Structure 1
Amino acid sequence: MTIKHDVQKLRADIPVLELQRKRLQYGGQQGVWNVVAEYFRNFRFGVPITLSETSADEEACNTLKLPEYADNAEAKHQLAFLRSCMAEDVSLGERCGVETLMQQWQAYSLSFNNLHFELKRIERTSRQFVHAVAKMTVTVSETTLKSLFPHVNSASLRTRLVGQRLELPCTLCFEWDESAGRVSRLETTVNFMAPLLKALGDVSDVALLLESARITRDGAVGIRDA
């Protein structure tokens, strides 16, 4: 059992080492472009989610409980990528850390169906900063309502929401630490207002939806602003 565990751990380390090797082949400007492009490639469909029976029970109780990803090869590769190109305590606005970023991707993937994350435009505004414009397309499900909008009791509003395909505009700012060859800060903003207004057609419904939603001002989900 121990040997099997050790083999699995060694296999999990391979993606980290491979990504670090590739990154060392590039320097300076080429490195940051590659990191941004790889970030979008790695998370274009979010992260794989497999709910355990316990997680499903928690979800039914309106609690966003993130499943473990330690035994999922794809999720481990995604985490390895983040650790290979970002500071361990990477700043994420009001939050920080590679694990926190991974957990946000889990929260999005758990809260919505059919997630697709697409890079639209990228621009390097200085030696340190790269700005990206993107679109995240998601489908609203019953899980979305339970985990992000549990305060909405209107059956009519809930019915109108479920099944809606939302195109969420996103902006991302990557701050590059040239001395470390890693991203030191990543600020992401996700706009829920415009897509929800387009889907519902009523400002008051959108206001009701977002008033106590478990979505922060910068678009982090499963969290309420203080």
Structure 2
Amino acid sequence: MASTMAQGTESTSEAASHDQENTPNSDLDDYRRLLQHRQSRRDIQRRYRAKLHARSVSFERNVERLKDEVARLDEEYRRLTANSLSSTTPWNLMAEYFSLFRDGLTTMTPEVMVKNGSGIDAMLEIWRSISMRRDDLHVRLERLENGPGGSFIATTKCYFTITRSMLLQEFPHVVMNSDEGRPLLVVEKLLGQQIALLSEVRFDWDESTGRMTAVTGRYFKAEMLMPLLKILSNLEDVALVLG
């Protein structure tokens, strides 16, 4: 019996020793995984910043090119005969507007009023900002209708990819709280997803000059409910995004 008790004591000691050896190794593995996770996140952020910088440089070049194009087109417009000018209508001008703007950056007439000012530079800045926040932007004209005060209302559908920049601009409360927990999971689900969103553009038309005097746009946040629900799969997360 003494021999049996001795063997039992020895087995217990070996098990305890084995547990003591495994515990530090397990903690070390967890620490290594944590370091790898942090490094991975830093790498992702570094690549994202590099991509954003490259896109910014590309957009700046596009702006300069489009300014030259605007100047050339405006000069051609000024050479139009009276007969050609009289044939211009709000409908064909709006159709041309969306033909030019369907992929983001383009132009409008020099004196046109927009949300943040007037003229070519203001219009370009709006579309530059929209294009930088949304990847793969494409705008499709759905319908044109008469609006109040001689204006015209265009309903459009915008297709784009959700980016961190777009979330930071539209839903900053989600991004700011996305270091951990549920907001982080929501952001990870949204990034890179394709979305389609209805919006409106109002054109104010001057009959005396045959030109647009103002262009203003807006989108409906309520229209984001179903696309977000399709991505996130539950109303709780959608409510978190829409705030």
User: Shorter chain as normaliser: what TM range?
Assistant: 0.5 to 0.7
Distance in 2 (alpha carbons) for counterparts of 1:178 and 1:140:
40
SS in 2 for 1:83: coil
What one-letter code is carried by the residue in structure 2 that aligns with 1:186?
Answer: V
Q: Deviations over 1:128-147 (max 9, x none)?
A: 22221111111112332344
Q: What is the CA distance between 1:114 and its match in structure 2?
A: 0.6
Which structure's residues are more often helix, by fraction? 2
Alpha-carbon contact 1:131-1:172 (below 8 Å) kept: yes
In the TM superposition, 1:6-85 aligns within 5 A as: 13-21=71-79, 25-27=84-86, 30-47=88-105, 78-79=106-107, 82-84=108-110
Q: Which has the larger radius of gyration?
A: 2
Residue matched to 1:137:
159
Alpha-carbon contact 1:115-1:136 (below 8 Å) kept: yes
Distance in 2 (alpha carbons) for counterparts of 1:37 and 1:120:
11
Is 1:112 paired with 2:134? yes
Q: Greater relative contact order (Cα 8 A, min sep 6): structure 1 or 2?
A: 1
Is 1:168 paired with 2:220? no
Distance 1:11 1:163, change over 3 A: closer
Distance 1:203 1:185, change over 3 A: farther
Residue matched to 2:237:
205
Distance in 2 (alpha carbons) for counterparts of 1:26 and 1:127:
23
What one-letter code is carried by the residue in structure 2 that aligns with 1:96?
Answer: G
Q: What is the CA distance between 1:183 and its match in structure 2?
A: 1.4
Distance in 2 (alpha carbons) for counterparts of 1:42 and 1:31:
17
Q: What is the CA distance between 1:159 and its match in structure 2?
A: 1.2
RMSD: 2.9
Distance in 1 (alpha carbons) for counterparts of 2:194 and 2:89:
35
Residue matched to 2:118:
97
Q: State, as a whole percentage, how many aligned pairs show the same letter.
A: 27
Q: With structure 2 as the length reference, what TM-score do the two structures score?
A: 0.58
Residue matched to 1:218:
none
State the aligned residue count.
165
Distance in 2 (alpha carbons) for counterparts of 1:39 and 1:121:
13
What one-letter code is carried by the residue in structure 1 that aligns with 2:92?
Answer: N
Distance in 1 (alpha carbons) for counterparts of 2:81 and 2:237:
47
Distance in 1 (alpha carbons) for counterparts of 2:114 and 2:220:
20
Distance 1:22 1:193, change over 3 A: farther
In the TM superposition, 1:123-202 aligns within 5 A as: 123-124=145-146, 128-152=150-174, 153=178, 154-199=183-228, 200-202=232-234
Residue matched to 2:24:
none
Unmatched runs of 5 consecutive residues or more in structure 1: 1-8, 48-77, 212-226
What one-letter code is carried by the residue in structure 2 that aligns with 1:97?
Answer: S
Distance in 2 (alpha carbons) for counterparts of 1:192 and 1:11:
34
